[in-house]
């Protein structure tokens, strides 16, 4: 089973820590037991792929494979050309694992408004975009993933899912 799912803001992907938190499995019922490939933090929204095909986990998430994930980001201040260039070329987001310093890999960045941009990442460090923006003095007001590889939200509303099937599924399996 392969699903494209729109995780709503305020929902935890897995492993809720507090009684008032809800996970995807608490708010959405899938026809079979499936697991998310990757995560979005509680305050982020957007596309997750859920499946019961364990072969896909490393194939999609391993940063060595450089699979694209695209996000729409709204920040609390007007973006400068310097912000965009730094996001594109790599930003020090500090401690990742055992490293005291971590510079993000180059990213494609497209300004979409005075306080918004789209960004394409090929890695997925914990809260990476929030940390990238924070290192530049920007606060993230909204973060939405709308594409993983060629899979897109395609008009899904928060909390809803659709089957990944046909040519879309064939291409996903071939790429992975």
Active site residues: 41
SS3 for the chain, per residue?
CEEEEEECCCCECCCCCCCCCCEHHHHCCCCCCCEEECCCCCCCEEEEEEECCCCHHHHHHCHHHCCCEEEEEEECCCCCHHHHHHHHHCCECCCECCECCCECCCCEEEEEECCEEEEEECCCCCCHHHHHHHHCCCCEEEEEEEEECCEECCCCCCCCEEECCHHHHHHHHHHC
Closest of 4, 33, 25 to residue 164, by C-alpha: 4
- Cβ(130)–Cβ(139) below 8 Å: no
């Amino acid at each position: 089973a392969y699903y494209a799912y729109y995780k709503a803001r305020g929902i935890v992907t897995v492993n809720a820590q507090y009684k008032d938190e809800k996970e995807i499995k608490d708010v959405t019922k899938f026809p079979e037991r499936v697991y998310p490939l990757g995560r979005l933090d509680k305050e982020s929204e957007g596309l997750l792929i859920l499946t019961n095909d364990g072969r896909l986990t490393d194939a999609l998430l391993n940063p060595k494979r450089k699979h694209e994930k695209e996000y729409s980001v709204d920040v609390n201040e007007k973006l400068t050309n310097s912000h965009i260039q730094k996001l594109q070329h790599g930003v020090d987001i500090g401690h990742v694992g055992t490293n005291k310093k971590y510079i993000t890999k180059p990213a494609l960045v497209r300004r979409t408004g005075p306080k918004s941009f789209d960004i394409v990442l090929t890695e997925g460090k914990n809260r990476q975009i929030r940390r990238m923006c924070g290192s530049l003095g920007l606060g993230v007001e909204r973060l939405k993933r709308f594409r993983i590889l060629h899979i897109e939200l395609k008009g899904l509303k928060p909390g809803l899912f659709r089957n990944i099937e046909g040519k879309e599924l064939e291409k996903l399996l071939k790429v992975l």
